[in-house]
Structure formats: structure tokens, C-alpha cells
Amino acid sequence: MEIISSAFDFAQIMSSGLALSLLRALVIVVIGYVLARIASLAMQRVFKEAANRHHALLFERGAYYLVVGLFVFAAMVELGFNPGVLLGAAGILTIAIGFASQTSMSNLISGLFLIGEQPFGIGDLIQVGDTIGEVLSIDLLSIKLRKFDNTYVRIPNETLLKAEVSTFTKFPIRRIDLQIGVAYKEDIAKVREVLQETANKNPLCLEEPQPLFIFRGFGDSAIDLQFSVWVRREEYLTLLNNIQMEIKVAFEKYGIEIPFPHRTLYTGSVTEPFPVTLVPDYIKGAE
């Protein structure tokens, strides 16, 4: 008896509009899913060569979710939901989610801007705040860096958007600024010549742009000079080490003094020299 009754119920449901619309809604969702896959594949193909990996991924995902969203919405309408109410509910839900995931959303949107702006790419060497590292990945919420001591650092995109970011590997060549102090007695023209010769001798030091020589001023205990040499960015560290060692050797060879800080004591008025008395140890011991 029960079986007959349930069969009757089923037939009733089948004959009603509900089953039909359920079926229709299901078909719409399936079609939507298939179309979304096709759209995402198409995007993948279009952006394969044109854009970088992140742009491609962004468009791929965007197309997928847009198509799926539209079809799910159509399916809901088919099931008899009022589109106005649906949109209203979606609005309230968005606000609720928005409040709850403020940080994530902020990072997400910052991520989109970062991807659009492209201040650096994967493999670049960047500095954010005090952190210097190689970019491992740029994701929607954060970027990942590898510091030189092999630490894995995650930096939220929001920080990157607000902070000053230096990219060291944007251009093929870099400049090394050396701050050099030489004693006041030195002939600066000669010092300049020695520095230039040292730079010329090192093959890693670029001949053009020419090394830069700046007389920075009269310091406390030395004449402050700046000597800037250009180098291909891969050789930055090698040249930084080599050139300073070579400059030191050259200065020693030509007798150019790199002074230590000096202090001159002066007693205030037109003065006699300080009287200096040597006190032998045995007298001190007697006291």
C-alpha cells in the first residue's frame, strides 16, 4: 500500500511544474559549467603568449566565475526565485562578507593592482622595508620572497602597495657608490687618477658609463670622496668586493693615506702646549 502511495506521490510531483523546472535548472547549470570551462580554456589560449602568467590566470578565473555565476543565477530564476530578492540577498551577503574579510579583500584588491602595475616579476630581487629577497611568487593575497639566508618570507599585498619597494634587477646595469675618505695632505688629482686607473684595470667595471668622481666635502678627519662605478647587475657583489680591495692595494702602493678620526685638543686661549710629565712606575708605586 505504501509503495503505491509513494508511487502516486512521485507521479504527482512529476506531473507538477516543479520537477520540470528542477530539470531545466539542472540543465542550465550543466550547460553553464561546460561553457565556463570553454571560456576559461579560450582565455588560456588567448593569453598563452600575449601576457604573463598572472594576467593569464586572472582572465582565466574571471571568465570562468562570470559564466558560472550567470548560469547559476539563471537556474535560480528558473526555479522560481525572484531575481530582485536574489540580488538584494546577494547585496546583504556581500556586505556581511565584506566586513568579515576586510583584510583579505584589501589584500586581494591590492594584489590585482600589483599584477596590473607590475613593479617586479618572479625572480626579481626586491627590497620591501628592511627585507631584501628574490620574488618566488606573486599571488592574490601575498607575495613570497626568499631572503639571502634562505628564509621564506610572505608579504601581504597591502603592505607592498603602501610601502616603498625597490627592484634591484629592473635594469641590466647597476652603480656601486663607494664612499672614500683620504687624508688632507693628499693630492686629490692624484687620488682621482689612481681610482680611475683601478677601475680601468678591472674588466667587470664598465668602461661606459664612465666611473663617477665626486668631491663630497671637507670632513672631520678626511676629505670625503665618492667614487661610483657601473657594473652588470649579475656581477654586483663580485665587483663590490674586488674594487674595494683593489683600491686599498692601490692606495697603499701610491702611499695615499686613509685616515682614522682625528681629535685635536686645544685649551681655549692663545695657549702654551700642554705640559707633559713622564712619571716612572716606581714613583707611582711608592705613593
Partner 1 sequence: MSEHHNQRPSTWWGQFHLDQGQTCRWEIGPLKLAIHRQANEWQLAYEQTEVTGSEATEWNYNPTAPDISELTYKNTERYITQQPGNTVRVMPILADRSIITRPLTPLYVPAGEKMTIFVSSPLWVRIEVGDLPVKLQEVPILRPSDTWFGPSTMEGELCYASRTYARLNLENIPKRTHRAITQIIIDNKGVTQLLVERLNLPVPYLSLFETSDGLLWTEAVTMTRTRDTGMAGFEVEKRPPIEALDAKLVSKPREKPGQSMVIRAFGALFR
**Which residues bind to partner 1, rule: CB under 8 A?**
171-173, 175, 200, 202-210, 230-232, 235
Q: Cβ of residue 200: shortest distance to partner 1, in angstroms? A: 7
CA atoms lying within 13 Å on the CB side of residue 212: 13
Q: Cβ of residue 206: shortest distance to partner 1, in angstroms? A: 5
Nearest to residue 20, comparing CAs of 8, 30, 28, 31? Answer: 28
Residue with smaller CB distance to partner 1, 191 or 199: 199
* 173-182/212-218 β-pairing: unpaired
Residue with smaller CB distance to partner 1, 24 or 232: 232
CB atoms near residue 191 (< 10 Å): 23
Nearest to residue 219, comparing CAs of 268, 181, 247? Answer: 181
Residue with smaller CB distance to partner 1, 166 or 210: 210
Residue with smaller CB distance to partner 1, 84 or 172: 172
d(CA 156, CA 141): 6
Q: Cβ of residue 203: shortest distance to partner 1, in angstroms? A: 5
**What DSSP element (H or E) covers 84?**
helix 83-100
Residue with smaller CB distance to partner 1, 55 or 232: 232
CA 67 to chain CA centroid, Å, is 33
> Distances from the Cα of 229 to the Cαs of 62, 75, 103, 249, in angstroms?
47, 67, 44, 17
Q: How far apart are the first and last CA of the chain?
A: 126
Q: Cβ of residue 119: shortest distance to partner 1, in angstroms? A: 15
Residue type at position 164: E
Q: Cβ of residue 174: shortest distance to partner 1, in angstroms? A: 9
Q: Cβ of residue 199: shortest distance to partner 1, in angstroms? A: 9
Residue with smaller CB distance to partner 1, 15 or 200: 200
